[in-house]
Amino acid sequence: MAEREKYLLDESRIPKAWYNINADMPVPTPPVLHPGTMEPVTPDFLGVLFPMNIVMQEVTSERWVEIPEPVREIYRLWRPTPMCRALRLEKDLDTPAHIYYKNESVSPVGSHKPNTAVAQAFYNKEAGTKALVTETGAGQWGSALAMACSFFGLDLEVFMVKVSYHQKPYRRIIMENFGAQVFASPTERTHFGKQVLEEDPDSQGSLGIAISEAVEVAATSGGKKKYSLGSVLGHVMMHQTVIGLEALEQMEMAGEYPDVVIACAGGGSNFAGFAFPFVHRNLTEGKKTRIVAVEPASCPTLTKGRYTFDYGDAAAMAPIVKMYTLGHTFMPPGIHAGGLRYHGMAPTVSALLANGDIEARSARQLETFEAAVRFSKAEGIIPAPESAHAIRAAIDEALVCKKTGEKKVIAFNLSGHGHFDMTAYQSYHHGLLEDFEYPDHAVEEAMTHLPQVPGAESKAALIVR
């Protein structure tokens, strides 16, 4: 039995550089394409949405990118985060497996999202940006960016998916507390939002729609507002790697190394942040750790989607990337894991899955909440519905060990707490939650709306530097 349950690093051990997986990708990452010309985008095109210092991070092939000291100073408010041995959960499961979790819920806004929000706010402030605009699903990203913008004196507008706007009012209030304006998407504030509401006045929204609204506002602002994204793109994945880099050091403190690394996956940011440093060890040191991404069965991007070029948003205004996608017209059901309802997946995560370097599985809503409740009763932490998908997979892996008698080391990312998800837990305990598996025919129909990219195969072989 381990001598202690928590493995803590002092502030001096906050990583001094982010890990950029572009340096070690075993397969080329296809280029980002212009939604109009369908040719590789130029930095100038991306500069309409992002400041140039972030654009340069998006395309760099440097393995290590220095973390600016003002960013590390704010990280010290909550980083390094604990790595915990789930001894009580192990006992409850009666498993020989050793289960560890990285606790990102201890950040000021309760999730992993500030790792990139603070970085993006810093770079925008440095570039002279005055205001940002973004979207949010469950509200964790919006909360994080609102806090970061408050720290750096930036204005912020947030388009929050309507179903989450009503399901999770306290996350909206957090954003407003930090000075952000929050709108239930789709709205009447944008041309695309009006179009959606004309076709479906009762639309509950989607991340794809909210992204379209945010991109439209930024692109038509004449440079006055820049767009900020909480997942999917390379610079976001990179900023999150502070999670896994700390975890590597903490596993050394524990005297063990994971056989299985698990994280939930929506757009890919917390999965990449936790898993990519372990993928790095697999790719460069010959480690054999299994890397598992877990998603909702109702939004099965990696497990039922197609690996192809698609728009990043519902309005087909955002750049086109090659990724696992359910189609940009995808309308998710109103499940409570709002942060996992995006139609696509980060291009780097997608490429690794297509190449066999990582695995993917899906979990239904009821079994996910069952795992969340079991974890909270054992460990005393109520997880966000998103994080509960990783818990479900970790428990399943531990139960396999119980059957086989194997003593595997399992590590997962607890990417956020569930303090503002009580309506979801209430529905679960009252038997009101339902399972929904996204049907194959809906995926096939969505595939008919994919962009027709000329020479897609040759483009897929290109890397933009």
pLDDT at 334: 64
pLDDT at 439: 86
pLDDT at 87: 97
Q: Is residue 49 part of a domain?
A: no
pLDDT at 3: 43
Beta bridge partners of 368: none
pLDDT at 463: 38
Q: Is residue 59 part of a domain?
A: no
pLDDT at 1: 43
Q: Is residue 370 part of a domain?
A: yes
Q: Is residue 99 part of a domain?
A: yes
pLDDT at 229: 94
Say whether pTM exceeds 0.75: yes
Residues 6+ apart with CB under 8 A from 126: 51, 53
Q: List the chain pLDDT tens, one digit each, 465 residues.
A: 444 589 999 999 999 999 999 999 999 888 899 988 999 988 888 899 999 999 999 989 999 999 999 999 999 999 999 999 999 999 999 999 999 999 999 999 999 999 999 999 999 999 999 999 999 988 999 999 999 999 999 999 999 999 889 988 899 999 999 999 999 999 999 999 999 999 999 999 988 899 999 999 999 999 999 999 999 999 999 999 999 999 999 999 999 999 999 999 999 999 999 999 999 999 999 999 999 999 999 999 999 999 999 998 888 888 899 999 999 988 776 666 566 778 899 999 999 999 999 999 999 999 999 999 999 999 999 999 999 999 999 999 999 999 999 999 999 999 999 998 898 899 999 999 888 888 888 889 989 999 988 866 555 544 332
pLDDT at 337: 58
Q: Is residue 214 part of a domain?
A: no
Range of the domain at 287: 7-15+66-110+235-448
Distances (CA, A) of 99 to 318, 368, 430: 40, 17, 30
Q: Is residue 342 part of a domain?
A: yes
- Whichever domain contains 77, its CATH number is 3.40.50.1100
Domain count, the chain: 1
